[in-house]
Amino acid sequence: MGKKLKAVKEKIDLTKQYTLEEAIKIVKESSSAKFDETVDLAVNLGVDPRKSDQMVRSTVVLPHGIGKKVRVLVFAKGEKEKEALDAGADYVGAEDLVEKISKGWLDFDKSVATPDVMGIVGKLGKILGPRGLMPNPKLGTVTFDIAKTVKEIKAGKVEYKTEKAGIVHVPIGKVSFDAEKLVDNAKTIINSIIKAKPSTSKGKYLKKMSVSSTMGPGIPVDVASLGKGV
């Protein structure tokens, strides 16, 4: 453990649970890295992600973005190609991009595709799938509504899904954000997670929660303090 992280941990009572506002304040005050750290929200859910009907996965547009320039690639042809460029997409194409990616190029963060080109995009499943870069109709990234989708991603649309241990990790912004903006983003995600609760999930759904910066410890959040309407 580094000296800075050790010093931070000594100031925080990790046996205590804080309100969301208090936890975010602590994360901001205890940040000591030389770069603008990302702030993450981790939520432990009462689901069994090994069961397909208990997988929690969705997307949500954060009101204040995540403080990062997102490079968007769009697989499209014809008029949709122009629509994507006008909406701010960084890379647009079809067969040319498929060939480029198949040779190892992956300099983008999100990809979107129109349904009519998914036949050629499907060839990239083994490359893009494991990296979470494959367009997915369930997440709204296989669509003819290219302009709206690209703009939402650029504005701060994030996607999340439960990991093997039933935990969801989502970025809520940067340490440099005002605390109020981080709280707003966190509450937007929590509400989205609540709405995505599987009908087969029994017992306590939001079990544990914490916020942390890239280099900092997780600060426990008192789930009960959130109330029913987050």
pLDDT digits (tens, 9 = 90+) for 102-147: 999 999 999 999 999 999 999 999 999 999 899 999 889 999 999 9
Write down which residue in 155, 186, 216 finishes a domain: 155
Name 60's Cβ contacts closer than 8 Å, sequence gap at least 6.
157, 158, 160, 188, 189, 192
Parent domain of 21: 13-66+157-226
Instruction: Say yes or no: 107 and 219 in one domain.
Output: no
pLDDT over 90 (residue 33): no
> Do the domain assignments include residue 6?
no
Instruction: Say yes or no: 196 and 215 in one domain.
Output: yes
Instruction: Say yes or no: 106 and 79 in one domain.
Output: yes
pLDDT digits (tens, 9 = 90+) for 157-215: 998 999 888 999 999 999 999 999 999 999 999 999 999 999 988 889 999 999 999 88
